Amino acid sequence: MPWQPKAEMDIKREFVALAGRAGANRRELCRRFGISPTTGYALLARHAQDGLDGLTMRSRRPRASPGQTDAAVEQAALDVRCEHPTWGARKIARRMRDQGLSAVPSISTISAILHRHGCISEAASLASQPWQRFEHEQPNSLWQIDFKGDFDTTQARCYPLTVLDDHSRYSLAVQACPNVGTQTVQPQLMSVFQRYGLPARLNADNGAPWGSPRCTGHGLSELSVWLIRLGIHVSHSAPYHPQTNGKIERLHRTLKADVLNCTYADLSHVQRAFERWRTIYNHERPHEALGMDTPAQHYQPSACAYPAVLPAIDYPVGDIVLKVGWNGAVRFNSLNFKVSTALLKLPIGLRPDPTLDGCFDLFFCRHRFGRIDLRDHSSTT
């Protein structure tokens, strides 16, 4: 089976990076990338022998030589900065070493080179502050998802959808979307799940299309119901507290600086820029929070594959199972209770509270989303 023509080099590069991770299931990766095991193993063999040259039919000249002069080393640092205008001295030094350049200057020397050539303003120096963030111990324990605002192209409005792995900072998707509707977002997430597997938890903000615990219907949306059925724990950031999704907010800052400061003709034009940027971000750009490693060096796909069919909905013995009717309501104990219109025609479980008579916790699959209190005939989140 052939490689897909779109961004073929980027796809091959991502494949060999993920297949080279310890414990990687290479046959499963071949299936997710839409190639045969024969094609996949042949590519890995060429990459092991020739590196990136093995991924294309073109040969590449080395970017450095043992006799490189001091002036050439300085120019190499400036070349990296020219290619990546938002990178600082630490990232440039790491990138130069990754490229195999000899006699890489110290970070302070590279910083002095950048200042001497007017590449770093005093304002930029003052704005650079170290950050330390909590992270999950394993890849795919938590993904963060969000939209990076919106902007105009010549032909249409663009809504950039981003998905990020919390542990590795690996960018799983940057997609130029025409809107923020479920019918747009769900197919994009499906493609991500088919490529990388399922996360244990997905954290989103409190807007559309994710739903919100503070909204009517217990915060369940059509999209969150689908995610819960896949076995993904859905959580939400605290209202007016974007730091909960801090890593993806930081990614958005980099995306804005590197990509969103240009004018684009249409969504396809934007998407090409996004794909190039994502490849650099995952496989080339050193990340200070990762000890100057790249996200690809810390990420591996989830062992939990995307299912061809949604799992059956079942509940433990002892739960009272009811089907949600029109207007998102259930009838229980001769009373009607509003639960969620997103659960129309789906079964939910009422689990008695052993400490409070007449109180029942509401579950959809393993997700607790509300509570019924027969004492005051109410349904709450």
In a domain, 3, yes or no: no
pTM of the model: 0.73
- Same structural domain for residues 154 and 220? yes
Residues of the chain where predicted confidence (pLDDT) is lower than 50:
1, 58-59, 65, 67-69, 126-127, 129-133, 216
In a domain, 310, yes or no: no
Share of the chain above pLDDT 70, in %: 85
Tell me how many domains the chain contains. Answer: 4
Contact 239, 210 (CB under 8 A): no
- Same structural domain for residues 239 and 339? no
Digit-coded pLDDT (tens) for 180-230: 999 999 999 999 999 999 999 999 987 778 875 555 455 789 999 999 999
State whether the Cα torsion 112-116-118-119 is positive or negative: negative
Digit-coded pLDDT (tens) for 303-330: 999 999 999 999 999 999 999 998 899 9
Which residues constitute the domain of residue 21? Answer: 8-55
- Same structural domain for residues 158 and 251? yes
- Same structural domain for residues 191 and 240? yes
CA–CA distance, 117 with 340 (Å, rounded to integer): 60
Contact 47, 16 (CB under 8 A): yes
- Same structural domain for residues 372 and 272? no
- Same structural domain for residues 255 and 338? no
Contact 14, 52 (CB under 8 A): no
Contact 343, 321 (CB under 8 A): no
SS3 114: helix
CA–CA distance, 361 with 359 (Å, rounded to integer): 7
Beta strands in the chain (DSSP E): 143-147, 151-152, 157-165, 171-177, 201-204, 233-236, 320-323, 329-332, 335-338, 347-352, 359-364, 367-373, 378-380
- Same structural domain for residues 159 and 122? no
- Same structural domain for residues 121 and 221? no
CA–CA distance, 108 with 93 (Å, rounded to integer): 10
In a domain, 135, yes or no: no
Closest CA to 78 of 47, 113, 108: 113
- Same structural domain for residues 289 and 150? yes
268 Cα distance to chain centroid:
20
In a domain, 219, yes or no: yes
- Same structural domain for residues 115 and 244? no
